[in-house]
Structure 1
Amino acid sequence: MLSQSVYTLVNQQNGNLSFKVFEFDNSSYFDHIQRNNFFTIIIINSGEGLAKVDLSEYSFRENTLFAFYPYQPFMLASEGPMTGISVQFHHDFFCIYRHHKEIASNGILFNNVYQQPFILLDQNNKLTLMNIVREIVNELKMEALRKDEVLVSYLKIFLVLATRIKLEQQSVKEISGNDKQLFIIQNLRNAIEDHFRTKHSASEYADMLHVTPVVLARAAKNHFNMTLSDLITERIIVEAKRELYLTDKTVKEIAYELGYDDEYYFSRVFKGKTDISPQSYRETIGFNRGAVS
């Protein structure tokens, strides 16, 4: 256990939270919908219940690690006492988009519309990750040279190891799945990645994959725990967030590149999924391409 409950690092330029680690000893921290403007990692040490994430629900228990990206709606409804650790960091402290090739976590641990937003930890994996969290806390306690760089290094290691665990668990799940449905799902995933900028309707993907809309809808619901339309829209929103953060393109330009001729309709779709407008997302997440992180 950590000797104290909360450790933070504040951005000296704007006063905003950059990095935070805290222990929680009851369920009240996450028992209501969260829409944070930073990445949130939660490790459940004890307790069980129901996680509500986006439009889906998942059962959870002890030794579960959740990974949520900025403005992803989630809440953890515990059936009793719940304890754990949370690590939170802002885009401007460490940009997942910029470092995705180094750590491979963007699109696997975070921003993955095709996979559940959590992994299960065995005792060895949990011990390894918790040791890194302790090193992070020790660094946060110190007033030392280049603290930011040391924290980023620890965070990278944590994310790489968590990503490895998730990849291993994905492989086991796919091996044990239904071959025919997995074939459909893989083709659907590839089709969405290739065409989400131009094709937005479920029927277009059914036609493309030569299956009936009912069959495709059932496969999407069974594998992704969401409707096909929601899956397509979520993928569009992930790309929109990336563009809003990494580029200085106007909302109108981003909307057009994602297949929306009407900027205002696109903004309504974005706000419907994130509870915030594209421009507000850019302003609160931070547009800071020149930052070293």
Structure 2
Amino acid sequence: MTAQTEFTLTNPQTKDLAFKVFEFDDEKYFNRQRVYNYYSILLVTEGKGKLEADFSEYQFLENALMCFSVYQPFVIHPEDVFKGVLINFHPDFFCIHKHQQEVACNGVLFNNIYEPPLIQLGSLEMDELLSVVAKLKIEMQNPVLAQYELMVAYLKIFLINASRLKIQRQPVNEQKYEQDEPFILKTLKDAIEEHYRTKHSAGYYAQLLNITTKALNRLSKTHFKRTLTALIAERLIIEAKRELYLTSKPVKRIAYELGFEDEFYFSRFFKNNAEVSPQLYRTTVGFAKGEL
């Protein structure tokens, strides 16, 4: 008798995927770019190779934890054997924005433009996360009273534990900062958070930090694995997604609040960076969920 390897729950109203646990034993599911309207978490129990995400490349070994946001494209190139567990959940099943105070994984596991989307775990830490996954799989096979509430509780436990593990670690492949670099990079992150809604050019931040654009861009590519322009764009997209999902604001208003005078230019910018249009994002992910 073949063991069950996929456990799926669908939204009874939309018939779309709500939550899935999938055990994989090869790379077939991941060897071409994936872009989904739900969150994805990979627990790699065996294998090593290369991850491509956010226009950057990262090396991984066994016992790797990878986390991808809604519509975040990624592709994996393992060197040989590749086994583990994939978890998917739709924002309608569990919204990390609305539950931020309870779970605090937004900006740690997901939507962090400054750190890689993966960390290496110890074998005991991996076993701890897999034990929670096992409880989720058992619950998914028992559609009884309060099934949804218990599954959400297990998912919260998983996300909290994973967030703690990531906070405890330095980013994968992090290079040693020179003594004066951490201050510049911390200042850069603070500046982007303060001004990204109105200042979209790399030159503005270089001038603010009294450094050449070329030098600041080189630091960004070295430590954040992406250009300064890409960092700013990703920060704008994260906020745009949040506004599209949580509010009923017209796209034109969201564009204006993010510093775009032209709604159509904003829509092109969003599609180029998020793979889908703002309208399709709302259709497939959710609309005004923070107002319900």
- Normalised by the length of structure 2, the TM-score is 0.96
Q: Deviations over 1:174-217 (max 9, x none)?
A: 89533311111100000000000000000000011111112211
The aligned residue for residue 113 of structure 1 is 113
Q: Is the 8 A contact 2:60 2:120 kept in 1?
A: no
Q: Is the 8 A contact 2:38 2:89 kept in 1?
A: yes
* Partner AA of 1:21 in structure 2: V
SS at match of 1:92: coil
Alpha carbons of structure 1 residues 224 and 172: separation in structure 2 relative to 1, 3 Å: closer
Alpha carbons of structure 1 residues 125 and 291: separation in structure 2 relative to 1, 3 Å: farther
* Partner AA of 1:76 in structure 2: I
The aligned residue for residue 99 of structure 1 is 99
Unaligned 5+ segments in structure 1 are none
* Partner AA of 2:197 in structure 1: R
Q: 1:172 & 1:272 partners in 2: Cα distance?
A: 27
Instruction: Give me the identity figure in percent.
Output: 47
SS at match of 1:30: coil
The aligned residue for residue 7 of structure 2 is 7
The aligned residue for residue 57 of structure 1 is 57
* Partner AA of 2:128 in structure 1: T
Q: 2:157 & 2:105 partners in 1: Cα distance?
A: 11
* Partner AA of 1:115 in structure 2: E
SS at match of 1:43: strand
SS at match of 1:8: strand
The aligned residue for residue 203 of structure 2 is 203
Unaligned 5+ segments in structure 2 are none
Q: Deviations over 1:55-76 (max 9, x none)?
A: 1011111110100001101000
Q: 1:24 & 1:201 partners in 2: Cα distance?
A: 42
SS at match of 1:150: helix
Q: Is the 8 A contact 2:119 2:171 kept in 1?
A: no
Describe how 1:145-164 pairs up with structure 2 within 5 A.
Answer: 145-164=145-164
Runs of 4+ with deviation above 4 angstroms: 171-176
Q: 1:236 and 2:236 equivalent?
A: yes
* Partner AA of 1:78 in structure 2: P
Q: Is the 8 A contact 1:184 1:219 kept in 2?
A: no
Q: 1:218 and 2:218 equivalent?
A: yes
Q: 1:38 & 1:14 partners in 2: Cα distance?
A: 14
Total equivalences in the alignment: 291
Q: Is the 8 A contact 1:52 1:75 kept in 2?
A: yes
The aligned residue for residue 20 of structure 2 is 20
Q: 1:134 & 1:216 partners in 2: Cα distance?
A: 45
Q: Deviations over 1:214-242 (max 9, x none)?
A: 22111101110000000100000000000
Q: Is the 8 A contact 2:245 2:285 kept in 1?
A: yes
Q: 1:177 and 2:177 equivalent?
A: yes
* Partner AA of 2:11 in structure 1: N
The aligned residue for residue 248 of structure 2 is 248
Q: Is the 8 A contact 2:119 2:172 kept in 1?
A: no
The aligned residue for residue 81 of structure 1 is 81
Q: Deviations over 1:144-194 (max 9, x none)?
A: 111111011010110011111111113899895333111111000000000
Q: Is the 8 A contact 1:174 1:182 kept in 2?
A: no
Q: 1:143 & 1:192 partners in 2: Cα distance?
A: 46
